[in-house]
């Protein structure tokens, strides 16, 4: 089992490292750079080429049955689920094969709405303590289930 972290904009890297270390799980941080490598022997840093979706491609090519992926990128989540991995968003929501179609459709709809109204203000809700706590609980449960 490997825990893959889509690390470029991940707000829960430190939390994931704590859980992975406690459970003895190898963790791979994948990014385009700008992230300090961990001294933890269970944590590997992979730096991919700059470019759109390079980290996503790297993770999707490797994540499979028994692995867990942490990402907020819905298309990457869909690819990982298709490959047999489990996927957790930064806010602790576990995505499933049964529900990913609806999540993708909602994402596309919201992108269309934003494109239709360039003056539309706002975005997603702020990441908070409850999200961080939920993430820790879900990651611990999913990693223990393997």
Return d(Cα 11, Cα 30) in angstroms, integer.
14
Taking residues 120-127, what's their average pLDDT? 67
**pLDDT band for position 128 (50/70/90)?**
confident
Taking residues 64-85, what's their average pLDDT? 94
**20-48 pLDDT, tens per residue?**
999 999 999 999 988 888 999 999 999 99
- Domain segments of the chain: what residues? 2-144
For Cα atoms 88, 90, 95, give the angle at the middle one, nearest 5 degrees: 25
Pick the CATH number of 2-144 from 3.30.950, 3.40.50, 3.30.70, 1.10.286: 3.40.50
**pLDDT band for position 104 (50/70/90)?**
low
């Amino acid at each position: 089992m490997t825990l893959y972290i889509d690390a470029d904009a991940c707000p829960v890297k430190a939390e994931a490292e704590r859980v992975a270390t406690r459970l003895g799980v190898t963790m791979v941080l994948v990014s385009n750079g700008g992230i300090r490598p961990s001294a933890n022997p269970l944590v590997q840093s992979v730096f991919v080429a700059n470019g759109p979706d390079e980290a996503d491609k790297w993770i999707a090519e490797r994540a499979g049955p028994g692995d867990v992926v942490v990402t907020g990128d819905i298309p990457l989540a869909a690819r990982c689920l298709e490959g047999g991995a489990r996927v957790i968003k930064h806010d602790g929501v576990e995505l499933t094969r049964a529900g990913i179609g609806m999540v993708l459709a909602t994402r596309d709809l919201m992108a269309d709405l934003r494109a239709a109204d360039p003056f539309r203000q706002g975005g997603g809700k702020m990441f908070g303590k409850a999200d961080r706590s939920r993430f820790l609980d879900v990651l611990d449960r999913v990693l223990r289930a393997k």
